Amino acid sequence: MANRYVLRMDLPQSWAIVDVFTGQPAVIRQKVMVGMSPREAEDMVVQMNVGDIRRRERAERKG
């Protein structure tokens, strides 16, 4: 499965997590995922993609 979320550099040392389906920055708990440190962004994008893969796998099993 392809990853839904990717990293994009906003400014040097400032990253955003972008939803590849919409092309827009991701929003988690009403927080826009922009202006993040490299480490924070890398950790978060991994967690978000793992969660998305799990959701899609559950949906496929039900469908």
Angle at 24 between CA 48 and CA 59, to 5 degrees: 45
Report pTM.
Answer: 0.88
pLDDT in tens, 52-62: 999 999 999 98
Nearest to 36 by CA among 22, 52, 51, 47: 47
Distance CA 41, CA 49 (A): 12
pLDDT in tens, 9-57: 998 889 999 999 999 999 999 999 999 999 999 999 999 999 999 999 9
